[in-house]
Structure 1
Amino acid sequence: MRRYGPALLLLLTGAAVLRITLFGDLYLRYVQAGLRPYLIVSGATLILLAALTAVLTQSRDDDHHHRHGPRTAWLLTLPALALLLFPPPALGSYSAGREAAQRAEQGIGAFPALPSGDPLTLTVGEFSSRAIYDSGRSLKGRTLRLTGFVTHGDDGTWYVTRLLVTCCAADATTGKAEVRNADALPADTWVTVTGTWHPKGALGSDAAWPPVLDATAVKQIDQPADPYEKP
C-alpha cells in the first residue's frame, strides 16, 4: 500500500480544500471570499490528480522501487488528514499581539461625512483611521458600535481587535481600539462594543494609537462567519 502514498496525500489535501469551501464558510478563516471559486477548482484538481496517480501506479511494475521507499513518507499524509478533520481556527489574539503598532504622520485630512443616526456601526479599521487621521473630527459626539475579539494589554487594558486581510491570512494586519469603562472578557472572546470616541494625542502621532472608545455597553457574540475585515 505504500506505493499509493502520493495518491492518498493528493486525495486528502483535495478533500480538505473542498470541505472548507463547499460545505460551509471555513475557508473565510484563511482567504478572501472572492477566492472561493479558485479553491474549489484547486480541490477538484487535486482529487483528479489523486485518481490519475493511483491508476498510473497500479499499471506500473515498480514493486522493487517501492520496497526500498522510506516508510516515513507516510507521515506526509498526517498534515493533510489533520486539515481535513480539524481545520485550524481563525487568527486571533496571539497573531494580533505579534504585530507591533507602527504609525506615521501621513494621511491626515478630511474624511467623507458619516451616515446620520446613532449608534453608528463602523469597522475597527474605519474607527481607527478616523480617530487618528481625520482633521474634521467626524467621530466627535457620535455613539459608535464596533465588533471584534478581545485582546489584552498591559496594566489591565483591553482592546476590541480585528484583523484586516487583503488576500489571505498570511498578509493579515491588526486594527484595535482600547476599551475603557468596561470589564474585560477572556482573550479571543468576540464582542460588540457600543460607546463614544475618547480623543487622545495629536493627529497622526504615535500618541493617538491605539484609539480609545469609552464603552457604554459590551455584548458577547458568536464569532462571525467571516472573521476578518477588508481594506
Structure 2
Amino acid sequence: MVAAVRRYGPALVLALCAGALLRISLFSTLYLRYVQPGLRPYLIASGVLLLVLGVVSALAAAGAHPHPDEHEHGDGHGHDHRDGPRVAWLLVVPALALLLFPPPALGSYSAERDAAARYEAQGIGTFPDLPKGDPVEITLSEFTSRALYDSSRTMEGRTLRMTGFVTKDDSTWYLTRLLISCCAADARPDKVEIHGTHAPAVDSWVTVTGTWVPNGEPGSDQAWPPVLSATEVKQVEQPENPYEKR
C-alpha cells in the first residue's frame, strides 16, 4: 500500500488539482467567487493540462521497473530515492477543499478590514446623463463615482436601484460591493450609506431603491461615503458574480 502511494502519489496530486480547477471553472461558475470572468478559459486550460500530466505520470509509474536505488533499511522500511518532495502533498488540502467545500465569496469581514478606503483622486468633471426612466439600475462603483466626482450632479432627483451585501458600523448600515481588478486577492470595498430603513442581517444580499443625498462638494472628504435615502429594500439571492470590476 505504501509503495503504491509512493508510486502513484504525484499522479494523484495532479489529478486532484485538475479536478478542483475543472469543478469550479468548467462544470460550474464557482470560479467567479475568486477571479474575473475573463480568466475562465485559462483555468479550464490549466485544469486540462494538469489532468493530462496526471495521466501521463500514472502511466509512467505503472510501467516503471524497480529502481536499483530502492533498498530495505535495517528497520524494514523501504526507501525510494525517486520520491518527490513531501511538501507537495500539501496541495491535496486546498484541492480537496475546492472539490468538496468551495470557500464562499469575500463578504463583510473583508470589507470591514478596509473600511477606511477612499477613492484616489480622479478629478472633478461631468458624467454622461443617466438613462431615462426611473428607477435606474446602477452599480455601486458608478454610484460612488458620480456621487464623489460628478460636478453636474446627474443623479440628483433620480430614483436609483443597486444590489449589494449588508455591512454595519455601529448604528449605520451600508450597501457594499467588493471591486476586483483580477481576482479576490486585490478586492477593495465600495460602500453606500443607507438611510431611511432598518438594517437587514449582515452579509445578506439586498436590492435597494432610493434617491441620492448630496453631501459636501464633489471631491471633498465630506462627500464620502455617499448616501442613499432608501424607499425599498428587498432581500435577494447572491448574484452569480458577487464582484464588480474596477
Q: 1:53 aligns with which of 51, 57, 60?
A: 57
Cα distance, 1:67 vs. partner? 9.8
- CA–CA distance in structure 2, aligned partners of residues 135 and 84 of structure 1: 49
Aligned length: 230
- Measured in 2, the distance between the counterparts of 1:116 and 1:72 equals 59
- Quick one: percent identity of the two aligned structures? 62
Match of 1:36 in 2: 40
What's the C-alpha RMSD, in Å, of the aligned pairs? 2.0
The answer to whether the 8 Å contact 1:180/1:213 transfers is yes
SS at match of 2:245: coil
For the residues of structure 2 that align with 1:105 and 1:170, how far apart are their CA atoms? Answer: 23
Equivalent of 1:2, from 5, 17, 22?
5
Question: Which of these two proteins has the greater Rg computed from alpha carbons?
Answer: 2
Matches within 5 A, 1:75-224: 75-99=90-114, 100-154=116-170, 156-224=171-239
Moved more, 62-71 or 135-144: 62-71
Deviation of 1:72 after TM superposition, in Å, equals 7.7
**Shift in Å at residue 131 of structure 1?**
0.4
Question: Partner of 2:99: helix, strand, or coil?
Answer: helix
Q: Distance in 1 between matches of 2:138 and 2:58?
A: 52
CA displacement at 1:206 relative to structure 2: 1.9
CA distance in 1, matches of 2:87, 2:141: 46
Q: Secondary structure at 1:183's aligned position in 2? A: coil
The structure that is helix-richer by fraction is: 1
TM-score computed with the length of structure 2 as normaliser = 0.87
Deviation string, structure 1 residues 49-92 (Cα, Å, up to 9, x no partner): 11112222331534431698887864542221111111111111
Query: Runs of 5+ in structure 1 lacking a partner?
Result: none
**Aligned-partner residue type, residue 97 of structure 1:** E
Deviations 1:22-48 (A, max 9, x none): 222111111111111111110010111
Please list every run of 5 or more consecutive structure 2 residues that lacks an aligned counterpart in the other structure. 71-78
Deviation at 1:202, TM superposition (A): 2.1
Q: How far 1:160 sits from its partner (Å)?
A: 0.5
